[in-house]
């Protein structure tokens, strides 16, 4: 199957790209490379936050977190990717933004666990 990557926005802005070749990508492939680096880092943070949160939750919380994480992954895939006769398309900006948002959500739950106690209802 032919694999293609579709990127909705190729502008890379912000501190993560400042002062590097990613600050002003020369072409779409440079932009893809830079956006992929940001996606990979956000995915690493997401996984670290997920793992850190699971260590603070009780059994019911871990079960609920796993269920909501799987639902989040399905939504991310539905919103940020598609298959058709021409191949598989991923909107990497969408996937990156969605992953960053989820990593922040998990970080917020970690903060709650440390301060007020884990609130399984917010998972």
pLDDT digits (tens, 9 = 90+) for 13-37: 344 444 477 888 899 899 899 999 9
Other Cβ atoms less than 10 A from the Cβ of 60: the count is 11
Coil, helix or strand at residue 97: helix
In percent, the amount of the chain with pLDDT more than 90 equals 74
Q: Rounded to an integer, what distance in angstroms lies between the CA atom of residue 123 and that of residue 119?
A: 7
Mean pLDDT of 45-67: 98
Q: What is the pTM of this model?
A: 0.79
Task: Name the β-bridge partners of 83.
Answer: 88
Q: What is the pLDDT of residue 64?
A: 98
pLDDT above 90 for 92:
yes
* pLDDT band at residue 11 under the 50/70/90 scheme: very low
Q: Rounded to an integer, what distance in angstroms lies between the CA atom of residue 55 and that of residue 48?
A: 11
Q: How far is CA 18 from CA 3, 14, 74, 95, in A?
A: 30, 6, 32, 21
Q: What is the pLDDT of residue 25?
A: 87
Q: Rounded to an integer, what distance in angstroms lies between the CA atom of residue 113 and that of residue 123?
A: 11
CATH 1.10.760 fits 21-122, yes or no: no
Q: Where in the chain are the domains?
A: 21-122
| Chain mean pLDDT for the chain | 87
């Amino acid at each position: 199957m032919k694999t293609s990557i579709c990127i909705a926005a190729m502008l890379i802005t912000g501190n993560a790209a400042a002062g590097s070749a990613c600050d002003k990508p020369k072409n779409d492939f440079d932009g893809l490379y830079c956006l992929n680096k940001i996606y990979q880092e956000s995915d690493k943070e997401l996984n670290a936050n997920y793992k850190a949160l699971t260590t603070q939750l009780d059994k019911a919380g871990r079960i609920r977190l796993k269920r909501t994480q799987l639902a989040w992954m399905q939504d991310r895939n539905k919103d940020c990717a598609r298959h058709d006769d021409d191949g598989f398309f991923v909107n990497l900006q969408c996937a990156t933004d969605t992953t960053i948002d989820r990593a922040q959500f998990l970080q917020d739950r970690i903060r709650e666990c440390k301060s007020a106690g884990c609130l399984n209802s917010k998972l």
